[in-house]
């Protein structure tokens, strides 16, 4: 039998290509903050980027079609009093975005279709619960209005956004700074990496540690980790000699990695982006000028190097487009939005195919925007599998009436505000009413605590 030298894979020849200059977003002053988050979030409607702002924090949200030079006076989302560290679009409504900041707060914003016309200063919901800056945000993949946040106070909070309340607070699990936190595919587990050199798999509703691994990488620099197929975990970190590494773990047997590969000696943290449809993982280093990609399979060595996209300029941040935002007729399997110092440049990953027909093997049914469970049901213990959609006819980004119905509890204060100017009498009176109710509630809480103290 002849020796099989090359592993067969339909992704062996995937190549990355930057779009033409006129399809980039130019003249944007990307934030200079030294923080290892993506600084960018994208969906089929908008691209959002954290920008430099004097006196507080701001980020810019542009419709995908608004390419070219962006005017200096373009309105931003600028409600935070400290620099913005993390932004993330809601997977179930393309107009909703969450932001975490150095001012210790998390804010939820609604972006009108077509983008902003005036600066946005009032969030739909403000979530206060952290005592130090908030640098990690992640929406639940299947439950509606559930958001995870992690701060430099080593606390991880799960929010019911529609009610504006912290339902689960994990404040004793991590003894040091949390480097990363992400959900598994159905949102029944959370994976965190921490400065105390532990990887932890958590039960999100009980707030308990299911499994943990000490020192997945020997080095001192930050570790990142994501769930991949079959419940396995892919981590990126550093060796004792500060060489960058990628490793694959089976959480049921954390003693030894399935594979551990050394990559290079660069100092930037590797941010992993995993695509469950193709089982390809993309490693983007902050400060690198390259994106490496690997295929994760069930056969040794499990993580197979595919190729590397290189360019001249380093990336300050990176955004990853959900599958439903890709151009399937061009065999596009991933699209990144690379942040330079003064611009955002889309990079397209393509499988070379001669036919322009729909390639079913490249595009299995993927996660759609419809949630499986509501927040209250999920917090009570109900899990929901992702609702899948076919990309055969392309995905349309129109906001259906159903989406508004789903978001009614979240957006009830903004439906009137969206159509009227911010200073309208109705909005002002509603704000005053809310303020008065909050004051009354505080007064009653004080009285209850005084009475309890007496007894």
Q: pLDDT tens for residues 86-109?
A: 999 999 999 999 999 999 999 999
Q: How far is CA 257 from each of CA 113, 213, 252, 415, rounded to the nearest angstrom?
A: 46, 10, 11, 51
Using a 10 angstrom Cβ sphere, with 0-12 exposed, 13-18 middle and 19 or more buried, the burial of residue 60 is buried
User: Where would I find the beta strands (DSSP E) of 5-145?
Assistant: 15-18, 25-26, 40-42, 46-51, 57-63, 68-69, 77-80, 84-89, 96-101, 105-110, 125-128, 134-139, 143-144
How many C-beta atoms surround the C-beta of residue 344 within 10 A? 27
The residue among 407, 429, 423, 45 whose CA lies nearest residue 415 is 407
How many C-beta atoms surround the C-beta of residue 150 within 10 A? 27
Q: Is the peptide bond before 213 cis (omega within 30 degrees of 0)?
A: no
Supply the pLDDT for residue 429.
Answer: 67
What H or E segment, with its residue span, contains residue 451? helix 425-454
* Token pair listed for 3: 């020796």
Question: Using an 8 Å Cβ cutoff, are 244 and 238 in contact?
Answer: yes
Contacts of 183 (CB under 8 A, 6+ apart): 138, 140, 141, 148, 189, 190, 191, 204, 227
Concatenate the DSSP letters of all residues of 190-254 into one string: EEEEETTSEEEEEETTTTEEEEEEE-SSSSSS--EEEE-GGG-EEEEEE-TT--EEEEEEBTTBT
Concatenate the DSSP letters of all residues of 117-185 into one string: SS-B---SEEEE--SS-EEEEEE-SSEETEEEEEETTS-EEEEETTTTEEEEEE-SS-SS-EEEEEE-T
Residues in the chain: 455
User: Could you tell me the sign of the dihedral formed by the alpha carbons of 408, 383, 396, 106, in that order?
Assistant: positive
The residue among 182, 234, 174, 235 whose CA lies nearest residue 208 is 174
Question: Using an 8 Å Cβ cutoff, are 52 and 78 in contact?
Answer: no
Q: pLDDT tens for residues 47-75?
A: 999 999 887 899 999 999 999 999 999 99
Residues in the chain predicted with pLDDT less than 70, given as ranges, are 1-6, 395-429
CA distance 363 to 382: 29
Supply the pLDDT for residue 444.
Answer: 86
Report the DSSP beta bridge partners of residue 225: 235
Q: pLDDT tens for residues 258-271?
A: 999 999 898 889 99
Report the DSSP beta bridge partners of residue 232: none
Contacts of 206 (CB under 8 A, 6+ apart): none
* Token pair listed for 302: 């499990």
Supply the pLDDT for residue 451.
Answer: 84
Q: What's the whole-model pTM score?
A: 0.86
CA distance 268 to 285: 5
- SS3 assignment, position 408: helix
DSSP for residue 335: E
CA distance 195 to 216: 12
- Report strand pairing: 224-227 vs 233-238: antiparallel
Q: How far is CA 168 from each of CA 109, 138, 165, 260, 364, rounded to the nearest angstrom?
A: 22, 14, 9, 34, 35
The residue among 243, 242, 234, 182 whose CA lies nearest residue 213 is 234
The residue among 16, 17, 19, 25 whose CA lies nearest residue 344 is 25
Supply the pLDDT for residue 3.
Answer: 53
Supply the pLDDT for residue 421.
Answer: 37
DSSP for residue 30: B
DSSP for residue 271: E
The residue among 284, 292, 283, 346 whose CA lies nearest residue 315 is 284
């Amino acid at each position: 039998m002849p020796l099989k030298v090359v592993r067969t894979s339909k992704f062996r020849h995937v190549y990355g290509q930057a779009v033409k200059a006129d399809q980039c977003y130019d003249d944007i002053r990307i934030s200079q903050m030294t923080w290892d988050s993506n600084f960018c979030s994208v969906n089929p409607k908008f691209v959002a980027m954290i920008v430099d702002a004097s006196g507080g924090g701001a980020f810019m949200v542009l419709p995908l079609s608004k390419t070219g030079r962006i005017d200096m006076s373009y309105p931003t989302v600028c409600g935070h009093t400290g620099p913005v560290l993390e932004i993330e679009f809601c997977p179930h409504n393309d107009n909703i975005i969450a932001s975490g900041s150095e001012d210790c707060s998390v804010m939820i914003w609604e972006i009108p279709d077509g983008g902003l016309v005036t600066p946005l200063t009032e969030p739909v919901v403000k979530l206060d619960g952290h005592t130090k800056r908030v640098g990690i945000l992640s929406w639940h993949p299947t439950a509606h209005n559930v958001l995870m946040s992690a701060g430099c106070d080593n606390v991880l909070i799960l929010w019911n956004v529609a009610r504006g309340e912290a339902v689960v607070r994990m404040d004793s699990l991590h003894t040091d700074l949390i480097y990363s936190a992400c959900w598994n595919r159905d949102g029944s587990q959370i994976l965190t990496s921490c400065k105390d050199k532990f990887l932890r798999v958590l039960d999100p509703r009980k707030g308990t540690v299911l499994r943990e691994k000490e020192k997945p990488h020997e080095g001192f620099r930050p570790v990142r980790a994501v769930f991949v197929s079959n419940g396995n975990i892919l981590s990126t970190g550093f060796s004792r000699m500060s060489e960058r590494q990628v490793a694959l773990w089976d959480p049921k047997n954390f003693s030894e990695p399935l594979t551990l590969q050394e990559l290079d000696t660069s100092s930037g943290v590797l941010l992993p982006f995993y695509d469950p449809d193709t089982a390809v993982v993309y490693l983007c280093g902050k400060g690198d000028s390259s994106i490496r990609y690997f295929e994760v399979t069930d056969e040794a060595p499990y993580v197979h190097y595919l190729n590397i996209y290189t360019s001249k300029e380093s990336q300050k941040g990176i955004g990853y487009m959900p599958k439903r935002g890709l151009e399937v007729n061009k065999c596009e399997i991933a699209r990144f939005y690379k942040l330079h110092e003064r611009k955002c440049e889309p990079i397209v990953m393509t499988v070379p195919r001669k036919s322009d027909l729909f390639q079913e093997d490249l595009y299995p049914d993927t996660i759609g925007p419809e949630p499986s469970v509501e927040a209250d049901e999920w917090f009570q213990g109900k899990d929901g599998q992702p609702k899948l959609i076919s990309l055969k006819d392309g995905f349309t980004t129109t906001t259906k009436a159903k989406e508004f119905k789903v978001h009614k509890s979240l957006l009830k204060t903004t439906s009137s505000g969206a159509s009227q100017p911010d200073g309208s009498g109705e909005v002002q009176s509603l704000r005053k009413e809310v303020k008065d109710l909050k004051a009354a509630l505080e007064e009653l809480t004080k009285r209850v605590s005084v009475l309890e103290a007496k007894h």
